[in-house]
A and B are shown apart, each in its own frame.
Chain A
Amino acid sequence: MIQRFPVAGEDFSAAGEASSKIKNILRQVGEDAELIRRVCIAAYEAEMNLVIHAGGGEMILKLDTDMVEVIAQDRGPGIPDVELAMQEGYSTASDLAREMGFGAGMGMANMKRCASEMLIDTEVGKGTTVTLRFKTGKN
């Protein structure tokens, strides 16, 4: 099953809605609660990055019996130095985003911590695709 959720850029009032919908779907499908928790923390971080850094984009949920995949896709500015962006504490968040409580530079690290596998495909000026994979069942 594949489901797509558009995410608007800079729209803090609707931010988190896609991850919340993803959570409800996983709950209804009956995935393991601990898995749902990890997916949702990571999906929320990916969604917020679309809002804050990329001017919006799309969240995609792919469901299979052995795998949950969450993809955050955008046509934003891209990430020049992925290794740097992955470091805890590194952030280029705007003042506005910081005022809203974002910009601790923890998002990417949280995604890495929660997902079984994390892939980043990015090109400066073109956009970014973050793929988060979660193996179902006991790991």
Chain B
Amino acid sequence: MEPRYHSVILDEDKCKGCTNCIKRCPTEAIRVRNGRAFILTERCIDCGECIRICENHAKRAIGDDLDQAISFPYRVALPAPSLYAQFRRELTPKDLNKALIRLGFHEVAEVAAAAELTTVAIREYLKDLDRLPKPMISSACPVVVRLIQMKYPTLIPHLIPVEAPYITAARLAREKVCRERGLRPEEVGLFFLAPCPAKITEVKTDTGQVPLINGVIPISSVYGRLQQAMAHIDEDCSDGGSTTTGVGVGWARTGGENIALAQENVLAVDGIHNVLELLEEIELEHLTDVDYIEALACPNGCVGGALTVENRFVARVKIRKLAEKLDDSRIPDAVVEEGKRLYAAGKLTQKEELRPKAVLQLDNNLADAIRKMGELEEILAELPGMDCGSCGAPTCRSLAEDIVLGRAQRADCVFILREQINTLAQELLLLAKKRPQALKED
């Protein structure tokens, strides 16, 4: 299996080899080996659960730096909607835009504003409901998309093929800047201020000629400098040039996308383990009376992203209040028209078809895989079924799998090891009782 890039990494010095993360990982992608956690790259979907759970802060995401933007003659910031909820002070998109300009960006392309175009595109796509598999599933969260590719490939046709808001924001921003300023595409640096490792990965694995987005800066790493810049924005004479309404801002938390869509028969789910449960139901055709599902990997939605700063419950309330203040009841007519025009021109839909990612299987050859599965079940029957994690695998079943795949051995199970030691000890005892011939009495 080819290892692939992912942004979540382990800081070896901080890892104590506890088993919290292996238990929490939704794709069973982590093992503990030699007292350190270890990520099976091909299985990681960058959901950030391990970052959230690790008390030693040994898991983190590698993103880009604000300073990397400097090398571009013209710099554009793309703030994720969740960014509006990160600060203690109440703030508006205008305030944030001003602070971003103070950090050295020439322009801001609001992802929230793009989310309104995304909303229009989804509404257009859903107009043809009769010929669509039900329910359709939002593709805004890259973790959910990857989870489906890996574990629920039959649900790929359910994913709505509309680009996520930040991608649309980037595409339109580059076009606009080049057109208005007469710049070449490579002179424009687009930097996305992101709430999650999954989006970093998504951008980094993009293989386009001019990368659609030049860098992804974790919200948590730019937060301090934004805070400082924020202190001076009242001195600015610009008005911050914001175009987003409450509809786009609302996307930052669970339910916001559905509010924006204003459709009946919709449902929202958040938290990766809840998402898993719901996808199982969808695959069993139990939810065919639902039209659309907003599914987000993080608890409370993107405000709960692993790279955010503010408490996610507080942030959720802040987003709701800000959205209401900016009016989240309707998208302005001009934006709807623009959205329809772009949709008709194919500019809001995904360019590449999604493919299944078969990383869970025991062997590429079906006969061999079935044989290995038989072995796996046999080994599993010998294991104690405690799922204690001491072997470094999240469950007895995953240890059995690792043994079959040659990644572990039976004695990694502490119970089996104890038994083996026990047997050995008894053999030793027997040996010890044997007296040398010379000492034998008769």
Residues of A within 8 A of B (CB): 1, 3, 20, 25, 27-31, 33-34, 36-37, 40-41, 44, 63-65, 136
Tell me which residues from 303 to 350 in chain B have a Cβ below 8 Å from any Cβ of chain A: none
Q: Identify A30's interface contact among B364, B371, B374, B377, CB under 8 A.
A: B364
Q: Identify A33's interface contact among B153, B284, B367, B377, CB under 8 A.
A: B153
Query: Which A residues are in CB contact (< 8 Å) with B280?
Result: 20
Determine whether the beta carbon of B360 is less than 8 Å from that of A1: no
Determine whether the beta carbon of A34 is less than 8 Å from that of B361: no
Majority SS at the chain A contact face = helix
Q: Name 14 interchain pairs, CB-CB below 8 A, sorted by A.
A: A1-B370, A1-B371, A25-B373, A27-B361, A29-B369, A31-B366, A33-B356, A34-B154, A37-B154, A40-B283, A41-B285, A44-B284, A63-B373, A64-B370
Minimum CB–CB distance for A109 against chain B, Å? 13
Given A28-B369, A63-B370, A65-B370, residue A37 in contact with residue B283 (CB < 8 A): yes
Minimum CB–CB distance for A5 against chain B, Å? 11
Bound-state Cα–Cα, A64 to B366, Å: 9
Bound-state Cα–Cα, A65 to B376, Å: 17
Majority SS at the chain B contact face = helix
Q: Which residue of A lies closest to B152 (CB)?
A: A33
Bound-state Cα–Cα, A34 to B358, Å: 14
Determine whether the beta carbon of A33 is less than 8 Å from that of B370: no
Query: Which B residues are in CB contact (< 8 Å) with A36?
Result: 154
The reply on B116 being an interface residue by CB < 8 A is no
Determine whether the beta carbon of B153 is less than 8 Å from that of A29: no
Minimum CB–CB distance for A45 against chain B, Å? 9
Q: Which residue of B lies closest to A66 (CB)?
A: B366
Determine whether the beta carbon of A30 is less than 8 Å from that of B283: no
Minimum CB–CB distance for A14 against chain B, Å? 15
Determine whether the beta carbon of A3 is less than 8 Å from that of B377: yes
Minimum CB–CB distance for B402 against chain A, Å? 12
Kindly list 5 other residue pairs between chains A and B, CB separation below 8 angstroms, not including A28-B362, A40-B284. Answer: A25-B373, A29-B373, A33-B356, A37-B154, A44-B284
